[in-house]
Amino acid sequence: MYLPDFDYHAAASVEEASNLLGSLGTEAKLIAGGTDVMRMMKEGTLALKSLISITRVKDLKSITHDQEKGVVIGALATHNEVMLSPVLQEKYMSVCETAHHMANNQIRNIGTIGGNIANAVPSADFLPILIALGAEITLQTSSGSRSMPLEDFFVGPRQSVIKQDEILTEIIIPEKGFSGSNYHKFGLRRSGALAVVGVAVAVTMEDNLCKDVRIALGAVAPTPVRVPEVEELLRGREISAALLEEAGQVAAANCRPIDDIRGSKEYRQDMVRVFTRRTLRKAIDAGHV
């Protein structure tokens, strides 16, 4: 395997990067940590003439809490920066834990949350938990920006609504008053394994009453998916073991996994059942974990 030749542009600002993306066209792409882009170019599954780096754009790295917006995560924050962020550790430990269980330390040091999202891979770990927490994203060009709920971003495997000259700049977790959240990545070893299924939940509990809940699944459909059937089942109900098991079964019945080398469709479906139940239990009992 050999990395083919390409031009490398180190953009100093989002505007510059956007202009370059626009003028160079579809044979150009952004590179953030490069953990995905480099691998694909080396393997020959991605052919590009130019890469535009945005790693010099420092203000895209911060993770802050804004009274109005909520928690704002810069797209260039690495997995380790997410994991170690005091703001996230205080508000959404579940997001830190998600980062903690991704890849390995080397990748966590350079891979970014923005790259994880823009990649639009169905098994990407940040997607379910951010969707469950109701995250919004901002896409920016040199002339303006738009924002949307993260769950509307994905179209299919490695496909999203992003336009050629758009750059994902921030991920915002608005204050929705969830009392707990949790993501479980079911992988085939303890470290360095991609998700066979990923289940994320965010709940608002009042005593034992489920006031609100959002559930998102990864690796079981062409994009990360919500399971409204389960959310409806649970909303406004008293939580019981039987109800959680039912939630798991409904989730399993409403996802469309495929067979691949990591697991069969049948296995994935049953794991959705098991981990929907267990993840709900954790978020209900233990808060943001």
Partner 1 sequence: MKEQHSVIGKSVPKIDGRVKVTGQAKYTGDLKLSNMLVGKILTSPHAHAKILNIDTSQAEQLPGVKAVITHKDVPDLKYGISPARWDENIFCIDKVLFVGDKVAAVAAIDEEIVYKALALIKVDYEELPAVFDPLEALEEGAPLLHESFAGNVNTEIHQNFGDVEKAFSEAYHVRTDQFVGQRTYQCPIEPHSAISVWEGGKLTVYSSTQSPHYFQYYIARQFGLKMGDVRVIKPYMGGGFGGKLEPTGLEFAGAALAMKTGRPVKMFYDRHEMFAHNRGRHKQIMKITTGVDKNGKIIGVHADFIMDGGAYTSLGVATAYYAGAMLPLTYEYENYKFDMIRAYTNLPACGAQRGHGHPQPRYAFECHLDMVAEDLGMDPLELRMRNARQPNTITPNDFKINSCEMEACLEKAKELSGWQEKKESLPSGKGIGVAVGSFVSGAGYPIYRTNLPQASAVIKVNEDGTSATLYTGAVDIGQGSDTVLCQMAAEAMGFTYEQMKIVAADTETTPHDFGAYASRQTLMSGAAVKQAGEEVYQQLLEMASMMLKTDFRDLVCCLGMISSKTNPEVTITFAEVAREFFVRKGPLVGKGSYTPPKLGGTFKGAPVGTSPAYSFCAQVSQVDIDEETGEINVEEVWDVHDCGTVINPSLVQAQVHGALFMGVGEAVWEEVLFDDKGKIVNANLGEYRLPTALDMPKVTTDLVFGDELEPAGPWGVKEVGEGATIPTMGCYSNAIYDAMGVRVYSLPLSYEKVWRALKEKREQEQQG
Which among ligand FAD, partner 1, none contacts residue 125 (Cβ within 5 to 8 A by kind)? Answer: ligand FAD
Residue type, 276: T
Which among ligand FAD, partner 1, none contacts residue 255 (Cβ within 5 to 8 A by kind)? Answer: none
Check binding of 198 to ligand FAD (CB under 6 A). Answer: no
- Please, which of residues 155-184 interact with ligand FAD by CB under 6 A? 167-168
Which among ligand FAD, partner 1, none contacts residue 30 (Cβ within 5 to 8 A by kind)? Answer: ligand FAD
Q: Which of 29, 268, 277, 282 binds ligand FAD (CB under 6 A)?
A: 29
Q: Which parts of 84-189 are beta strand (E)?
A: 136-140, 145-149, 154-156, 159-160, 167-173, 180-186
Check binding of 110 to partner 1 (CB under 8 A). Answer: no
- Please, which of residues 75-114 interact with ligand FAD by CB under 6 A? 75, 102-103, 107, 111-112, 114
Check binding of 264 to partner 1 (CB under 8 A). Answer: yes
Nearest-CA neighbor of 126 among 81, 165, 90, 175?
81
Q: Which element (helix H / strand E) includes 103? A: none
The Cα–Cα gap between 289 and 285 comes to 10
What is the pairing mode between strands 7-10 and 50-53? parallel
By beta-carbon proximity to partner 1, the closer residue of 87 and 194 is 194
Query: At a CB cut-off of 8 Å and minimum separation 6, what does 213 contact?
Result: 201, 202, 203, 204, 230, 231, 234, 235, 280
What is the pairing mode between strands 154-156 and 180-186? unpaired
Q: How far is the CB of 41 from partner 1 (least distance, A)?
A: 13
Q: How far is the CB of 188 from partner 1 (least distance, A)?
A: 6
> Can you name the residues that pair with 168 across neighbouring β-strands?
139
Q: DSSP letters of 26-76?
A: GGEEEESS-TTHHHHHHHTS---SEEEE-TT-GGGS-EEEETTTEEEEETT
Q: Which of 61, 270, 281, 287 binds partner 1 (CB under 8 A)?
A: 270
Check binding of 10 to ligand FAD (CB under 6 A). Answer: no
Residue with CB nearest ligand FAD? 115
Binding mask 171-200 for partner 1 (x = CB under 8 A): ---------------x-xxxxxxx------
Contact in structure between 168 and 118 (CB atoms under 8 Å): yes
Q: Which of 18, 20, 28, 35 binds ligand FAD (CB under 6 A)?
A: 35
Check binding of 31 to ligand FAD (CB under 6 A). Answer: yes
Using alpha carbons, list the distances in angstroms from residue 34 to 52, 118, 119, 198, 260: 11, 12, 11, 23, 25
Residues that bind ligand FAD (CB under 6 A): 29-37, 39, 75, 102-103, 107, 111-112, 114-116, 118-119, 124-125, 167-168, 194
Residues in the site for partner 1, rule: CB under 8 A? 1-2, 104, 186, 188-194, 261-264, 267, 270-271, 274
